Structure 1
């Protein structure tokens, strides 16, 4: 309900809070039978679930013990602005953020974006956001897998899935293993056990002892032990394919009028400069472009007299 309204409601003073409560009540009145949430709304009224959006949400706490700890937008990258460098988020950092969220009792997380996209025509919004909404996502805007991000996250998800029984059954026991070193152990009376060993230091690797065994933890990394003994995954160690996709420029052949002549599977439309006489008219002064062109062209050409 009202995505991230909590980021701006203070601008409206008391009216902002009144509107927030009204929108929550309106949603509940629909009686959909499913939970509603409000992203970035710390004072969301019960039973609306307030959730976290951001690069990291492990420190987030919902406003009631009766609500799950949910991460509705895990930013896999960022949007591209015209003239800006292409945003990039290392998959090691993204995997660390996911692992420590579940280490600290997270219940749900959602990638934003997992599949990049494209803003067509004038749908990109602002300020100065480009038509590409690739977002450095695990699957790019063309539907191509981005490695090693896609493969490393796949391996992370498999490791967390192996911990499922223990994660769902109990709360963790947290133990300090040294400075910036933490173990979280999920252990049930039935014998299920899963552990997360974290090195939240950003500079030095470390070797720790856990349950009588020695483990090496690179800086800013988490090892996942689905049986509390064997490491199934470490966020800083990439075992997935590491090939990367690059874009190669291809020049148009002289007088190429089709994708076949171009020698490419990509299609294109040639848009010559200028307008036909049928679309020409005389007006004094400058005109508002979108209404004048009926929003059918990016260009409005002027010939001054």
Structure 2
């Protein structure tokens, strides 16, 4: 165990990502599994986090509130739901904790509320914690600057498992935002999220989105730059949630050494 390793707590330890996060923290020699939460009143309160994650007893019990473990952790990792995340963010700001947020599906108002905490605590907020995805974002920026205004149509196609509740995915939206910013476009103005019926010919400045929800797909994203005679596709495929979990733990280690601010995975990775 690394000296001065950050004590990490995980929100929503009973969920799919929560269990992977527990596993990722335990595997990381530079981090300490310090606590985790389940829903208030859950029958899983008191259960061992390692047993919930299927990796064997770790000697750390699930709590049904952050207040119950307030003295036990330095940084919280939260991949829950917008309203829960914002409540946890307020708690961390009040009690001097850092936070890593991977929650997606936040509304514009919720994003503004989140940004309002930037001067109160150190936080990393990213729709995707994968190192590979964040490298892909840099590739997309380069490709968009080189191709986007030279007659190339841009489409974002994403696929996830049947249980995902928001669409397009936060990662797909981030990819669209990166491309739009590189081209000096506003995604809210030029993003097209639905094509049904007689929708007319494609506007050259459109950035289109298509969504697939099926089976147990962990996460697949492709950005297509297509013109007459050729097509360039930049794709990232995740085969395990552990890639997101490991990235989040890396972010948690990094953010504990930072001052107040709203950081991204590009900051964590030095991109």
- Report the TM-score when normalising by structure 2: 0.32
Q: For the pair shown, which has the larger CA radius of gyration, 1 or 2?
A: 1
